[in-house]
Structures are given as C-alpha cells and as structure tokens.
Amino acid sequence: MTLDTVNDRGLVLLGCGKMGSAMLEGWLAQGVKPGAVWVIEPSPSDWLRGTGVHLNVDLPTAPAIVLLAVKPQMMGAALPQVVALGGGKTLFLSIAAGTTIASFEATFGAATPIIRAMPNTPAAVGRGISAICGNAKASESDLRLAEALLRAVGQVVRLEGEHQMDAVTAVSGSGPAYVFHLIEALAAAGEAEGLPAPLAMQLARATVTGAGELAHRAPEAAAQLRINVTSPGGTTAAALAVLMDAETGFPPLLRRAVKAAADRGRELGK
C-alpha cells in the first residue's frame, strides 16, 4: 500500500495533539488529500479546524489505516470509537508508548494487522526517528505504508521484534528530554562560572543544537567528532576527563537512565 491507497480508501487519526498534528501536517505536505483524512479529537486546535479534514464525524467503513495517537492512559476510553474497524481490512498503527500489540489484538481481534511504532518529538520539525514492528497479520505492504506515513516526520527503522521496543523507547523516544536537560545543566554550569543566565542559556542551546546538526551532517562517527574538538592537555580534555569517568561520568549515568526508562516501559506494558 502507498499514500495513493490512503487517498483512495481514507485514513483515520485517533487523537491529534502535538505528535498527531506534526504527522498530519507532514502527510498533507506529501500529497495526502484533506478529504481522505478523518480525525477524532475532542479538543481540536484552530490549525486542525482549518486543514479541511473530516473532524469528529462518522468514519468510513473500511479505511486503509487507523493511526492511534492518543496517550496510553486515554487509550481505553478512545478505542471504542474505532473498534468496529478491526477484523482485517484496516491496518492499525499505534504510536502509544507501553501499549503492546497483544493488547490491541485483544481489542480489535487477532485477524487485524497491527503495527506498533515509537516516534519522538523532533517529528514536530521533521527531524524525528520512528521504530516499527508488526504482528503476524501485518504484511510487507502494511509495513511500507506505515513507513511512508512516518517518513513524513523523519527517519524510520524496522525492529527485529517487539522485544526491542522498550529499549527504543528509552533511547530515542525519551532521549530528546535527556538532551533538553543537558542544555539546562550546561547553562547552569555556565552561570556557576560567572555568566549571566540569559547568555549562559543562549550559549548552551546554540552549542547543543549546533553540535547535533554537525553530527547529522558529518560523515565521521560521533567518537571522531569528539576527538576533533579535543586538543591533548587542553580545556576540552580536562572536561572530558570528568564526563568520561568510568564510575561517575556520562557512560554509567546514561546506562542507568536508559535502563530506568526501559524498565518503566516494560512495567507499563504488563
């Protein structure tokens, strides 16, 4: 299936908050017709009202795909609105963290093709990355359709199986928050060294976003980019001696943080 299939048969978006809106904006920019999109959203934004999509009206009987974009804690109340579309003709694509494929099969039926995806918030600027995996009923064409829709907001990777999803959630799903906290911490450290707070934040924010863009564009590995900045015995080397400490530096700290996020994902999936 392709985006032409979406235009022919329709797409249902259940939930249109920040992530859903980012994805919808990307789809429309890629040629999905507003008239081929049905959105269920109890609190629609002014932007959503102006897109021309079908908003909070009766759904088509057999759309190509239903994208589940509501928060996990709201899933129980939201799913009854689309449960009649289960059974095999419609692909269901979920971007809800911690909600397993098995739980969706229990709701929509084992014959329903289901794909689980984990995007992240840089999707809002077209720089996200999503990881996907499907159940036994999800065909290669289903996976390609999911990839086409998710590429509207960034990169897409396929997983070996759902067992990898909690680790993905901990690395890329939650990862933007780690980077934002790095900006906060770097700015606070600049303040501690005597910089005014606004200047420290400007320097930290530009440094992290600029380094991220360099990592995105450069052919070198991240380790080589780090080496390129580091003069032996210089200021960067002094800082890295602290940050790369095997017991108190970034490596053990991030291992603990990612493990905590992955463990929490596993708890939510039970």
Give the residue from 239, 253, 154, 251 showing the smallest Cα distance to 189. Answer: 239
According to the 3-state scheme, what is the secondary structure of 137-196? CCCHHHHHHHHHHHHHHEEEEECCCHHHHHHHHHHHHCHHHHHHHHHHHHHHHHHHCCCC
Alpha-carbon distance 101 to 114, whole Å? 7
Binding site for NADPH, by residue number, is: 56
Binding site for NADP(+), by residue number, is: 14-19, 69-72
Radius of gyration of the chain (CA): 21
Element (H, E) at 114: strand 114-118
Mutual orientation of helices 222-229 and 197-217 as an angle, nearest 10°?
A: 130
Element (H, E) at 129: strand 128-134
φ/ψ region of 109 (left if φ > 0, alpha if ψ in -120 to 50, else beta) reads left
Strand order of the sheet with strand 128-134?
54-55, 37-40, 11-14, 65-68, 91-94, 114-118, 128-134, 154-158
DSSP string for 35-72: GGEEEE-SS--HHHHTS--EESSPPPSS-SEEEE-S-G
Pairing state of beta strands 54-55 and 65-68?
unpaired
Strand partners, 132: 117, 158
Binding site, by residue number, is: 14-19, 56, 69-72
